[in-house]
Structure 1
């Protein structure tokens, strides 16, 4: 792995001008210093522009006119392409005379292979802007297609997070990307994250850079009314874990080292007072609307509130980050055997929200000692009366709160319900260990044995 000093020397040598797009970058050249404090001392909040409202999708054509777009790539998946959200987008583009081409082969839970197919389409199309219509898989795929089409000579692993890839900084200007989420979970419409299954290691990894953030997110609650029950459940648990993990992540002042230049501060910076506001908002929304949104697809108030919560969780995770639930989830999803949930087609798949929540009871029992008061507060925000409860019980209380939601939503009995057994744990640990970016945001350091124990405790959970 390239040393930190060598990275700085290369930056001085290259001195490449950064993207000057007001949505993505800053003006000037990257300068660095040899003097770096051991811990960070600052955090910053970056976010896509968010526009929220019933029917707001109809404005996308005018947004593209305002951007002087001439050749637009619309990305979606084989399911969403035939639904009302895509029709609304294409009707708006047609109304305002926008030339476009549709890529509808995005894979749910994308892989490096499916990313490469989308990247090739983007390169061949020579597009000047992008529109992503769908869930997190579509938005993450579109971000990658935008990036690599703007840097056509880059090797695929150049921008992928270390240690799997090279973690190269994004210095090329990207094209405008408008994200229109149709599910309520990932928050990808506001983040600089692009996640995929790396088939070689059977685990998820991704690209993390502020430049990937969409220019604009159109949050249209009307799109949520057609979301099937299980998709609503698993997407909701994605919000659930985003909020809990961001809220309990290592404080930004404990993350280190501080960057030698603010341009090099990572996307995931640790919990901070502003991201905590969004996490609290999401936890309160979950307590009030999660069950309603699942049990009644026509409950517009509940589904609208969950849609907004997903975006707010995205603001939180996009700056604070997530930790152990996600770090363990990546190999859980990547090593899927025969599990095929309702509403997700016929191929084996462990939806992202399910893969993250299945270890959450064990994870928060483990992390509670880092900040018992915050763990108790999280349980209280989710509806548990914590009056007079002891700090020593914080982990058990939050764990029991999570289990009550999982039981109410019909989540199976831990990893065993997904086809895993004790014998699979070494392979799952092997897939979790490279997730440095996530493991380091956990408020407690963990050993390989700790990861093994967390997975063992998640084989059965009730």
Structure 2
């Protein structure tokens, strides 16, 4: 394992474990007096939200709830929330929910701190400074947004979803309570977990760059490094061992805890190591099919690993040995193939489709998808095997035909 260079970007505080949601009130009181909660209608109606609101009230905090977060986070929803609560002037923004709720909290905080439009911040290192303090409380185990410098939104002027990447967007406090995930539906648990596993695998096998002292100041995603490697490998082991049980037995708090910890570790890994081909290609695939991010990533990941085998065999072999599907007596290539086969089999067991045909991609889409994938330049550049439109079309063709 490379030990000469490492980068970690993380929340100032990260509280993990069953019942940790009861720290929200005190954590918010440390940061301000007026609190805006960003969540969705389903969560806002649950008894746990009343519990959280009572906790905030007990700490003498003025609290307003925005409960209209939409999946895939359209720009219009961000602007609606900002317009509604600018006069309230919240000092703390709390995101409670899945990735869209957490990303909404990040982007509302950004919008309340600096002038618009948000489009001027698309890309890396364009946020000019600190935003209003954020508390992230995930209720799914997938995006890792509670620990990352990234927020993703859907802008109608762009073909694909776009990202804003800046260390300023890392939440001040992450509160990860696996009890909040026990009501997460089976299908959402599966695709969220697939996304988390992809985060960890892509970070672990990302391109390795020279350890320039300025690298972490110029790139949010620096590529493979020793600190992200440790988070990534821990995440992979937790997710591989526990995701299926969390999908099948949603009330199993031990499995839920392991998967949530794995997803958070994966967020810490890709927050500096970055993601790669599966995520880059999913953006146009998701835009074309209007399917969930984690679903597309889950379909694509084994095919991108197949493509990367020539350059990432040693990394995939290390993964195989860590999850117990190969040992040191086998060559790296044999072990790497075992890792890919095992990921493919896990995804099949939890209901992830095996081909892009299953989400209505056809041969006619492949040229445009190949070209559009190249727009995710920071992810394309992070892939261990160089990518161009022809290479991406090769991946897509295999993912369409399951050849």
Q: Which TM-score band applies after superposition, normalised by the shorter structure?
A: over 0.9
User: Once the 2 structures are TM-superposed, how far is the Cα of residue 282 of structure 1 from its aligned partner?
Assistant: 1.1
Q: How does 1:34-433 map to 2 (within 5 A)?
A: 43-48=6-11, 49-67=13-31, 69-151=32-114, 153-161=115-123, 167=124, 169-253=126-210, 259=214, 264-336=217-289, 349-393=290-334, 396-433=337-374
Asked if the contact 1:191/1:315 (under 8 Å) is kept, the reply is: yes
Q: Report the CA distance between 1:217 and its aligned residue.
A: 0.4
Q: Distance in 2 between matches of 1:372 and 1:409?
A: 26
Q: Counterparts of 1:393 and 1:198 in 2: how far apart (Å)?
A: 43
Q: How many residues align?
A: 399
2-side partners of 1:219 and 1:252: how far apart? 32
Q: Extract unaligned runs of 5+ from structure 1.
A: 1-40, 162-166, 337-348
Computed over aligned residues only, the root mean square deviation of the Cα atoms, in angstroms, reads: 2.0
> What 5-or-longer segments of structure 2 have no aligned partner?
none
TM-score (norm. length: structure 2): 0.93
In the alignment, the residues of structure 2 paired with residue 250 and residue 46 of structure 1 have an alpha-carbon distance, to the nearest angstrom, of 18
- Provide the secondary structure at the position in 2 that maps to 1:108: coil
Q: Deviations over 1:247-280 (max 9, x none)?
A: 00012427xx8648x6x33221111111111111
Q: Distance in 2 between matches of 1:411 and 1:46?
A: 31
For the residue of structure 2 that corresponds to 1:452, the secondary structure is helix
Q: Distance in 2 between matches of 1:441 and 1:99?
A: 43
Question: Do the aligned partners of 1:195 and 1:205 also contact (CA within 8 Å) in 2?
Answer: yes
Mapped to 2, the partners of 1:350 and 1:380 lie a distance apart of 33
> Quick check: 181-190 or 284-293, which moved more?
284-293
Residues 365 and 398 in structure 1, CA contact (< 8 A), matched pair in contact too: no
Query: Residues 365, 78 of structure 1: CA spacing in aligned structure 2 closer, same or farther, 3 A cutoff?
Result: same
Quick check: which one's helix share is greater? 2
Bigger drift between 427-436 and 300-309 goes to 427-436
Q: In the alignment, is the contact (CA less than 8 A) between 1:269 and 1:319 conserved in 2?
A: yes
Shift of 1:198: 3.0
Assess, with a 3 A threshold, how the Cα gap between structure 1 residues 297 and 168 changes in structure 2: closer, same or farther.
closer
Secondary structure, aligned partner of 1:218? strand
SS class of match (2:14): strand
Q: How far apart are the structure 2 equivalents of 1:426 and 1:200?
A: 21
- Using a 3 Å threshold, how does the CA distance of structure 1 residues 365 and 413 change in structure 2: closer, same or farther? closer
CA contact (8 A) 2:127 2:168 kept: yes
Classify the secondary structure of the residue corresponding to 1:132: strand
C-alpha deviation, 1:439, in angstroms: 0.5
Post-superposition Cα deviations, 1:288-337, rounded to whole Å, max 9, x if no partner, equal: 2111111111111000111111111111011111111100111111112x
Question: Taking structure 1 as the reference length, what is the TM-score of the superposition?
Answer: 0.82
What are the residue-to-residue correspondences of 1:7-26 with 2, within 5 Å?
none
For the Cα contact (< 8 Å) 1:190–1:315, is it kept in 2?
A: yes
- 1:382, 1:401 within 8 Å by CA — same for their partners in 2? no
Distance 2:167 2:117 in 1: 20
CA distance in 2, matches of 1:238, 1:87: 30
Q: Distance in 2 between matches of 1:278 and 1:122?
A: 37
Contact in 1 for aligned 2:314/2:336 (Cα 8 Å)? no
